Structure 1
Amino acid sequence: MADTLQADYDAFLFDLDGTVYHGPRPIPGAAAAIRQLRDQGAAVRFVTNNASKAPGDVADHLRALDIDATPDEVSTSAQAAARLLGERLPAGAVVLVVGTDALAGEITAAGLRPVREAGDDVAAVVQGHNPATGWADLAEACVAIRGGALWVACNVDTTLPTERGLLPGNGSMVAALRTATGATPEVAGKPEAPLFHTAAKSANASRPLAIGDRLDTDIAGAVTAGMDSLCVLTGVATPATLVTAVPAERPTYLGADLGALTEPADELRVAPQAGWDVRRDGDTLVVTGDGDPLALLRTLCAVAWDTGVTGITPGDGRAGKILAELGLPSGGRPIR
């Protein structure tokens, strides 16, 4: 029997929003998949770009969803931002916080002094997700940034997966300040590599696997960190975004959800799969065959990535039906 994906790695670095849960609602099968990893002795880490909660609160939330977790297994972008500022600023420097009290707490833990209003002594602005962020908070940050303060964003995810669908993420708020100031922040979290390296090091991992639902953060961060990755289709990524993914955002494996961890690694790899034939005909990929829809998606991604062609045409009725099931256009025009 072929080795399962989980047998090939010694640590598993999970994104949270869109991968393990949607807000207060667990994604079906996530708890069981993580429990199985622990039962086989694998190290589990939770690597999240959401800076709104402290590691202890994240662990509490996971336990409430029947997922074992401890604070030291959690790495957040708030910690990464505080670490970056602690390295760049002298002890006791004043940092204007646009975010939750948890983010302010990380700034304090880094030996810096958090404030909420702009002043002549503000050395930096740190910005993380907070559902309560409003115009007044952005106005204070705008004043400080225009005054020359260093600006660090915990992350720039434009959306946040929730049980109600995709809602504005920290990146949308960051975009507002970019427009207002003309400045660009340094980014502490994913897709930068430190979060992944820190999590893998804490697990003493020699072969970690990064798992997430976003190509521009989870998968791009894994690529930057030199790690293999599994993209799941429970959050932001779609078949269309996968087919058109740029090299820096291409996963090693593709699965429907975390149940993929128990499937054969070779069947999850983004590569031509049994049952499907995808051949290039000029500016179109012609699809024929019969089999699993995700096997077709993996095959399509492999050929599209290799050729740069994203227009798709079904070569038979079965292929057309599966392409429609995947939500992929089949008129031969390039996917935009």
Structure 2
Amino acid sequence: MSDQSDTDDAAPGWDAIDAAFDRLYPGRAPLHFGSVVPAFLGGNDPLNGISAWKRLDPVPHWHFVTYGFSELYEKESEDPEESGFGFELTMRVACTPDAETPPPWVMNMLQNLARYVFKSGNRFADGHWLNTNGPIALETGTQLCSIAFIADPELPTIDTPNGRVAFLQVVGLTLDEEAAIKRWNARKLLETLAPLMPLWITDLDRTSLLSDPDTARQVEEGSRREGSSTGMIFLEKLDWTVRKPLLRKPVTEVTLGANHVANLTDMLGLRLPFGNDVTLMGTQPGRMVRIVPGHANQVTERDETHLTITLTGATVDALAGALNPVAGRYPVPGFDALALQIEPTLIRNQQGEVVKTVG
């Protein structure tokens, strides 16, 4: 990314984002990192740019914002109410008091999140969470391997000439904090962590905040009292094929990566027994699998982008016992019309090199 602005005189969406941050940081110019060749000009970066402001309160940190999820220039989408995807991402990352430049890994991660959204069409929203398949900053040794999304506490939704834009803050979490989200609720977990994580600033050096006994108790009580409200899992790999063997009934084979097996089995056990569904969202545009509880097992393909799987309680238990995060084909016990195909997950560094294989 370059360090020069991509703005021009006809960028009302861009100007509206700048105005929102001018109110928060009056009279202060950010460091801006524009894409060398943005996607609309044939490049690999979906975002037009990312800006960062440094501040010292409540602890020293960088405050980032993206430019490109919303419509920065002309209005092109058909929805008059929302600008583009309807949001821009922000992130607050701890730094030393004398830091002069923001860490590059943040820009890389925000661009990767944009690639997912632009490729799949899936929108992030307040309360969503995502496992990052490894440390959020590769080769740092950080324990933060998951992220959640919450409305930026200092930036309300704005109205622009191209429609509404919300500011969603990305927050780095540890794996046991992610597990607590599965059992409970992303927003309520973050609100519980807030006294120990002011402004939800991501600190790569921190350990789990659930090591604090009072915080852990609050999270456990909330989980027991309210159960899991997490009903959506984002997957980089999701597909299905309906096979029709000769003289046998059709079999639907659902494909997903090995790194999401534990998430899937956990969420099925936390949601379906309570009458709640689980939705899997893939990177392919509109690719979605909805798993719902029912009195009989059934697979229904509404069209080539939407699949509904109905499972009984006994089948959920059997599937959880049979499925492993190891590559292979897994028939669903007691339900011959469904099988899961697990493929290895390749963890790549910022240069695209495979550094780890799951499954």
When the two structures are superposed, what TM-score results if normalisation uses the length of structure 2?
0.30
| Structure with more of its chain in helix, by fraction | 1
Of structures 1 and 2, the one scoring higher in RCO (CA 8 A, sep 6+) is 1
When the two structures are superposed, what TM-score results if normalisation uses the length of structure 1?
0.31
